[in-house]
């Protein structure tokens, strides 16, 4: 609970920038290699679809009908010798079903051009520097590393919201890759169906993490649930039962785009101003992921490969998916670090019991207001408030009753003050209220209204109800020569006069010199 009118001080960004810089530096190699790889893939596909003249490595990229039926490895590497098949594996150690026809053939041709020339060969066939199997394993392990990192953050900072959901989301995304890489445990169609189902589940969990972090956990909860349930039924019918995985891939892009739109709506509509830029950046990143998936489907349709193996569509996306996964985690960690800094500064500047500002935070804000008054001549007032007979309340009914009285008073004061007013618990039962742009007459009127509200508070103690009253002293800034400390002393002197005059009243320091002798404070 933040005090009324409280504003977070400027966030120190040195540590945050260093952390983000090291993470961004780690993404550079992946970004470079992925960009180069997919430039080859897209130029290959567009050329084979008739958009331009094919290069040397793209000739015969699209297989003949006879090659499709046989699933020949020679179809993938036409200038190389056909390897031997051993127990369902090619000579380069990959399962046969990875070397599917159509787009994946073009994909592997593009990858082959990126491999080092001195790379070793297996069974007389040059293995590509980056293949689908390795990408799947790397993606699965990377997501598990992200999950472990988020788990450590959750353990070290329990107050953070949403990290747990993000961690489980990373595990689901990694399991999706692992299921394809672990082909052979059970039916291939079941592998593909579970793998595709885990992706919308992962986005559902990620959306829940965003919503919980922004304190709107139930928003779009049932919408995501319905989408995942419908997609699960679709996969069961078309992929598992009818052996048509391509339809599952096509609908997957649409489902993920809808889920992404729901997450973007939450990120842009909710949250605090301090992390707004990071929320916008996160929205852009996850939107690019959804757009990439949709555009890839458009390229598949335009390339006239709807009748080929559906696995190839997903496999060729893994490098970019890995890059976008890293960027999404990068953005979320940035939002988390920003929020953690705000939480720590709020803890350092507020009273743990009541949620009001502590004296250090008020003095920092008061210095800014005093500078503004000296520059522009704005009026400024301060009210010192002390609860009457508070020690007697503690001694008679216990400290729990005293704590309850303090919390009730602070809650009532915060509801009565303006957004620019600052409430501070300066110690014990004493409070300071800073009133910017307020002259002495207005401050007196406000103080009297606060006194009446406090006198109506009833503290429930066992089977009794105990009333509370307060005495208030008011002082206003009288010129550039007066300091904050001097003004507070005048308000404090007025408070003691109110105590001596019988309590439960308001006295202004304008009627009494700042050097006036104050009597001993009565408890």
Query: Are 206 and 288 in a shared domain?
Result: yes
Query: Are 421 and 318 in a shared domain?
Result: no
Residue 477 lies in a domain: yes
- 455-483 exposure pattern, b = at least 16 Cβ within 10 A, e = fewer: eebebebeeeebebebbbbbbbbeeeebe
**Domain of residue 447, CATH code:** 3.30.70.270
pLDDT of residue 171: 92
| Distance, CA of 396 to CA of 152 (rounded, Å) | 47
Neighbours of 429 (CB within 10 A): 22
Query: Are 377 and 342 in a shared domain?
Result: no
Cβ(83)–Cβ(73) below 8 Å: yes
| Of 347, 372, 394, the domain-final residue | 347
Tokens of 503: 């309590």
> Which among 235, 237, 268, 264 is positioned nearest to 252, based on CA atoms?
235
Residue 492 lies in a domain: yes
Query: Are 102 and 148 in a shared domain?
Result: yes
Residue 18 lies in a domain: no
Residue 3 lies in a domain: no
For the packed helices 14-48 and 103-114, what is the interaxial angle rounded to 10 degrees? 120
Q: Does residue 54 come out as left (phi exceeding 0), alpha (psi in the -120 to 50 range) or beta?
A: beta
| Distance, CA of 206 to CA of 260 (rounded, Å) | 10
Cβ(92)–Cβ(82) below 8 Å: no
| Of 300, 315, 347, the domain-final residue | 347
Extract the residue ranges of the chain whose pLDDT is less than 50: 1-2, 4, 6-23, 25-26, 29-30, 32-33, 41, 45-46, 48-129, 304-311, 313-314, 512-523
HEC string for 105-141:
HHHHHHHHHHCCCCCCEECCEECCCCCHHHHHHHHHH
pLDDT of residue 301: 64
Task: Give the distance from CA 296 to its chain's centroid.
Answer: 28
Determine whether 435 is exposed, middle or buried from the number of CB atoms within 10 Å of its CB (0-12, 13-18, 19+).
buried
Q: How many CA atoms lie within 13 A of 208 on its CB side?
A: 19
Q: Which residue has the tokens 């369902």?
A: 88
Task: Give the distance from CA 336 to its chain's centroid.
Answer: 6
Checking DSSP bridges between strand 506-508 and strand 470-476, what pairing results, if any? parallel
pLDDT of residue 250: 75
Residue 353 lies in a domain: no
Query: Are 29 and 148 in a shared domain?
Result: yes
Query: Are 376 and 337 in a shared domain?
Result: no
| Of 295, 315, 347, the domain-final residue | 347
Q: Does residue 147 come out as left (phi exceeding 0), alpha (psi in the -120 to 50 range) or beta?
A: alpha
* Count: domains in the chain: 2
Determine whether 2 is exposed, middle or buried from the number of CB atoms within 10 Å of its CB (0-12, 13-18, 19+).
middle
> Which among 192, 167, 176 is positioned nearest to 332, based on CA atoms?
167
> Which among 386, 393, 389 is positioned nearest to 465, based on CA atoms?
393
Q: Which domain holds residue 183?
A: 23-347
Cβ(116)–Cβ(108) below 8 Å: no
Q: How many CA atoms lie within 13 A of 375 on its CB side?
A: 6
Cβ within 8 Å of residue 41, ≥6 positions away: 106, 107, 110, 316
| Distance, CA of 338 to CA of 341 (rounded, Å) | 5
Query: Are 420 and 323 in a shared domain?
Result: no
Residue 503 lies in a domain: yes
pLDDT of residue 126: 45
| Distance, CA of 41 to CA of 39 (rounded, Å) | 5
Give just the sign of the alpha carbon dihedral 321, 326, 331, 335.
positive
Query: Are 327 and 433 in a shared domain?
Result: no
Torsions phi, psi of 336, nearest 5?
-65, -45
């Amino acid at each position: 609970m933040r005090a009324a009118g409280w504003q977070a001080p400027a966030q120190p960004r040195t540590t945050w920038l260093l952390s983000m810089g090291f993470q961004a530096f780690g993404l550079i190699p992946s970004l470079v290699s992925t960009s180069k790889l997919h430039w080859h893939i897209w130029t290959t596909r567009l050329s084979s679809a008739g958009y331009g003249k094919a290069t040397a490595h793209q000739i015969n990229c699209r297989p003949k009908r006879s090659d499709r039926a046989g699933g020949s490895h020679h179809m993938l590497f036409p200038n190389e010798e056909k390897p031997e098949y051993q127990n369902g594996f090619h000579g380069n150690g990959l399962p046969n079903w990875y070397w599917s026809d159509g787009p994946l053939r073009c994909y592997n041709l593009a990858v082959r051009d990126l491999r080092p020339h001195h790379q070793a060969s297996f069974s007389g066939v040059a293995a590509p520097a980056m293949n689908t199997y390795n990408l799947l394993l790397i993606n699965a392990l990377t997501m598990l590393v992200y999950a472990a990192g988020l788990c450590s953050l959750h353990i070290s900072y329990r107050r953070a919201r949403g990290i747990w959901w993000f961690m489980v989301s990373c595990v689901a995304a990694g399991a999706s890759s692992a299921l394809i890489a672990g082909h052979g445990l059970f039916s291939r169609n079941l592998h593909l169906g579970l793998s595709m189902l885990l992706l919308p589940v992962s986005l559902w969990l990620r959306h829940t993490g965003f919503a919980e972090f922004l304190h709107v956990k139930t928003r779009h909860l049932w919408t995501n649930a319905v989408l995942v349930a419908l997609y699960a039924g679709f996969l069961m019918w078309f992929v598992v039962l009818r052996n048509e995985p391509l339809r599952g891939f096509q609908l997957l892009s649409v489902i993920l785009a809808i889920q992404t739109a729901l997450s973007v709506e939450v990120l842009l509509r909710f949250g605090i101003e301090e992390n707004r830029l990071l929320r916008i950046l996160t929205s852009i990143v996850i939107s690019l992921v959804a757009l990439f998936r949709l555009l890839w489907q458009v390229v598949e349709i335009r390339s006239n490969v709807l009748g080929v193996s559906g696995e190839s569509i997903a496999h060729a996306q893994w490098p970019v998916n890995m890059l976008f996964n890293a960027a999404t985690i990068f953005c979320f960690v940035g939002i988390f670090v920003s929020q953690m800094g705000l939480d720590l500064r709020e803890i350092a500047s507020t009273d743990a019991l009541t949620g009001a500002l502590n004296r250090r935070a008020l003095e920092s804000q008061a210095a800014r207001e005093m500078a503004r008054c000296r520059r522009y001549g704005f009026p400024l007032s301060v009210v010192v408030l002390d609860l009457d007979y508070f020690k007697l309340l503690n001694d008679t009914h216990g400290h729990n009753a005293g704590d309850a009285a303090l919390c009730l008073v602070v809650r009532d004061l915060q509801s009565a003050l303006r957004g620019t007013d600052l409430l501070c618990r300066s110690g014990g039962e004493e409070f300071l209220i800073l009133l910017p742009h307020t002259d002495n007459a207005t401050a007196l009127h406000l103080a009297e209204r606060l006194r009446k509200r406090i006198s109506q508070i009833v503290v429930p103690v066992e089977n009794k109800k105990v009333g509370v009253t307060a005495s208030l002293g008011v002082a206003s800034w009288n010129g550039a020569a007066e300091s904050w400390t001097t003004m507070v002393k005048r308000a404090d002197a007025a408070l003691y006069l109110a105590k001596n005059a019988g309590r439960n009243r308001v006295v202004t320091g304008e009627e009494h010199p700042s050097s006036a002798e104050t009597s001993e404070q009565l408890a």
